[in-house]
Amino acid sequence: MGIDEKKERVLKLKKEKNALILAHNYQEAEIQDIADYVGDSLGLSFKAREATQERIVFCGVHFMAETAKILNPNRKVLLPDLEAGCSLSDSCSYEELLEYKRKNPDTFIVTYVNTSAAVKSLSDCICTSANALKIVQKVPLDRNILFVPDQNLGEWVQTKTGRQMDLWPGECYVHVEFTYQSLLELKNKFPDAPIVSHPECERAVRMFSDVVCSTEQMIGYCKDHPAQTFIIVTEAGMITRLKREIPNKEFIPATTARCACAQCKFMKKITLDKVIYSLESDQYEIEVPLEICKKAFIPIQQMLEWSV
């Protein structure tokens, strides 16, 4: 089957199976083509919560599909490849966070959405890269905060809000590959291009950037900015989305010390063939134990309330 036939097959199955297809901004172009909605973690959470279809096929990574299940437990949530994980999510386990909580029972735990449902169930409020500043600013001033698990996002929030926090020592293996040196070379080539970075990047990269924001917020920034060319410092799938939304501008993917174009191996696990298989055979269903689901819902709901 060629790509176009595969896309037609997905669209046909989507109707037959009464499915909603959600895709993250880092997904390949052909996956973005067949999705009902493409966006960042926050936008995808809102869409998952509103879904009325019988099934949600999540073209993203495991924690995103779990979040969809927690927000809308009566839908069947399918992840086309169970190996679509996340290095950041893996950097904080339930047991480790439980141990921290035992030692620090009064600390307010703000947890990045890139975590397992079990870790979320131990948290006070969830955040995404789009609303992390807002969320931390809403935490009562008399509470100490632990920010879990991305130390780079946490450090950026700390700098922006002036709020001191304990930072969990986790990181995204893709975003920490960008360096000040690799950006400097690009900036010399494109001196007028603003540098647009994701907050999961390290401090030197963030400080060199014109703006630091979530993947979806990058679209608004590049649309409104008068520049014609932008250097984009995040996973390369974002370039597809930007080119589609803003076809008259140019987007340069930032290089890293090791490669010309940074790709998340977990996001790229999702392919059209796997989406077809997922729809045909209802695989792989994401289940979250009821107790965890109920507990994790509370801090996610808190996030949705605090972020509007």
Give the residue ranges of the annotated binding site for [4Fe-4S] cluster.
Answer: 86, 172, 264
Task: Tell me if 49 sits within 8 A of 75, measured CB to CB.
Answer: no
Residue (116 or 128) nearer to ligand 13P, CB: 128
CA distance 293 to 301: 12
CA distance 57 to 176: 29
Q: Among ligand 13P, ligand SF4, none, what binds residue 266 when CB lies within 5 to 8 Å by partner kind?
A: ligand SF4
Taking Cα atoms as reference points, which of 128, 68, 61, 70 lies closest to residue 90?
61
CA distance 233 to 220: 15
Label residue 57 exposed, middle or buried (CB < 10 Å: 0-12, 13-18, 19+): buried
Label residue 304 exposed, middle or buried (CB < 10 Å: 0-12, 13-18, 19+): middle
Binding mask 280-299 for ligand 13P (x = CB under 6 A): --------------------
Binding mask 204-243 for ligand 13P (x = CB under 6 A): ----------xx----------------------------
Q: Among ligand 13P, ligand SF4, none, what binds residue 129 when CB lies within 5 to 8 Å by partner kind?
A: ligand 13P
Taking Cα atoms as reference points, which of 265, 295, 287, 263 lies closest to residue 79?
287
Minimum gap (Å) between residue 90 Cβ and ligand 13P: 13
Site for ligand 13P (CB under 6 A): which residue of 25, 116, 123, 240? 25
Q: Among ligand SF4, ligand 13P, none, what binds residue 236 when CB lies within 5 to 8 Å by partner kind?
A: none
CA distance 239 to 224: 17
Footprint on this chain of ligand SF4 (rule: CB under 6 A): 61, 86-88, 114, 172-174, 200, 235, 264, 266-267
Q: Among ligand SF4, ligand 13P, none, what binds residue 94 when CB lies within 5 to 8 Å by partner kind?
A: none
Q: Among ligand SF4, ligand 13P, none, what binds residue 97 when CB lies within 5 to 8 Å by partner kind?
A: none
Task: Tell me if 59 sits within 8 A of 270, measured CB to CB.
Answer: yes
Site for ligand 13P (CB under 6 A): which residue of 89, 111, 128, 240? 128
Token duo for residue 181: 């040196």
* Interface ranges with ligand 13P (CB under 6 A): 25, 40-41, 114, 128-129, 172, 198, 200, 214-215
